[in-house]
Structure 1
């Protein structure tokens, strides 16, 4: 690797070592067919690494963007990657996209979102947040649907589900994101309207104004989930239909938990009963 390439890629792997088990809704579950699972894992690994790039404290904003640009170039076949775990995830996802015919923007759109994370740490409107989710979350659902050969008519309901999941994740991590990354996705005017500020997320628990902001965001999530309910019945592949139905159920259950539990005091999580209930509720999609 020449000096210019060394400056871009750096000298160390930035991957965190997290895996699908660290997520609320792990992709590549047993509901995905064995034949397609390696492609899903390749996509997941790539997404995890570019997320790690933007969240590391070992790179400044411009270094993060340069590394993300390089990952995009590898995915699109415009440059080679060093023989290192994090960079090689871009090679593998590029091969997956080429072999399956899934759109390259299901990978490169994620990079658009993470470039934004490198330079933007506050949001002023719901529309800004939705636009971020368009790139940070919606491509994941579209990747899975394209991989299964589903009709593009499924995309709108999938986008609603993925945006709901992303906003839920922002609520779960609101205090930690501010503390570790100085990043907050809660719209600032919504906070101001309720007489609170971003710094109220540093308290040991959510004050009433914050609770009202959470409730307003969850109202939007509930609306998205009502649209997402349509997704399973639109999917032809039985296993993917079941996967979608389970995730819709989990999304609704976690949103309900966030209504009554405090994400500032501690991360709100799904219970085993939530998972069992979501799976049981999805069984009707198999008939």
Structure 2
């Protein structure tokens, strides 16, 4: 029986939003349960920042409870919120740095207060707050966090975040958020009106190619992470690297309207990728 108070709730949250079905199967129970609790925290905060019709002020107000929980853990205070009771237990058991939670909170607040990005540097900085802490958390749960693995993991996390950004351009636009930086709009002569009218022009196709090239660069720069890991975590990272490469390849080959439908991976794809990861060194 689990010692986590909110595990059942967290499992339901993860099941509803799961984007990487293989990953959840590969963790040993101890790490899987802890990761599920951390995912619940991130998912709930992300929904506050991203979903529904709340005003920015209302969203920030709703995040205060989560900021309070993180602050209590940082200050050594025993939380009262059951979710943060569980998170504190994880921090204590796995020596998880609460600073990672702070960085995620900063990203959620940024999603509320910032809806446009000027440069690619700003986008990467956002990824370091919104995506990279998740990778560091997983490394910590497996006792595999060090300066080398964090650097490699950051590249993979940035690649995964950028895949999500290019897949969800129109969906994010409907929430009045665009991650594609303004410098790229100018460089490729594209407009927000294109997104509004779902006009995926040849100029957008050229922008997509550059974006995917950057993703491939980050995958290549982080691929060596698998060589620094063992066991199930190594297997998971091999699957995620292969999945990222396959999705990038499909998006490059696909000439359909990205604002209408983006290529995805099926459960069959994930099964094949897992099989290949198991049989290949």
TM-score computed with the length of structure 2 as normaliser: 0.86
RMSD: 2.3
Q: Distance in 2 between matches of 1:31 and 1:220?
A: 28
How has the CA–CA distance of structure 1 residues 207 and 256 changed in structure 2, closer, same or farther, with 3 Å as cutoff? Answer: same
Question: How big is the shift at 1:192?
Answer: 1.8
Question: How big is the shift at 1:88?
Answer: 4.1
Indicate whether 1:247 and 2:247 are aligned: no
Matches within 5 A, 1:104-143: 104-143=98-137
Indicate whether 1:103 and 2:97 are aligned: yes
Question: Partner residue of 2:56?
Answer: 61
Question: How big is the shift at 1:80?
Answer: 8.2
Question: How big is the shift at 1:267?
Answer: 3.5
Q: Distance in 2 between matches of 1:92 and 1:121?
A: 32
Question: How big is the shift at 1:122?
Answer: 0.7
Q: Distance in 2 between matches of 1:133 and 1:226?
A: 17
Q: SS at 2:177's partner residue?
A: coil
The answer on whether the counterparts of 1:249 and 1:281 sit within 8 Å (CA) in structure 2 is no
Q: Tell me how many residue pairs correspond in the alignment.
A: 265
Question: Partner residue of 1:71?
Answer: 66
Q: Distance in 2 between matches of 1:254 and 1:126?
A: 21
Question: Partner residue of 1:170?
Answer: 165
Query: Which structure's residues are more often helix, by fraction?
Result: 2
Question: How big is the shift at 1:280?
Answer: 3.0
Higher relative contact order (CA 8 A, sep 6+): 2
The answer on whether the counterparts of 1:235 and 1:241 sit within 8 Å (CA) in structure 2 is yes
Q: Which runs of 5+ in 1 are unaligned?
A: 1-14
Q: Distance in 1 between matches of 2:23 and 2:215?
A: 24
TM-score computed with the length of structure 1 as normaliser: 0.84
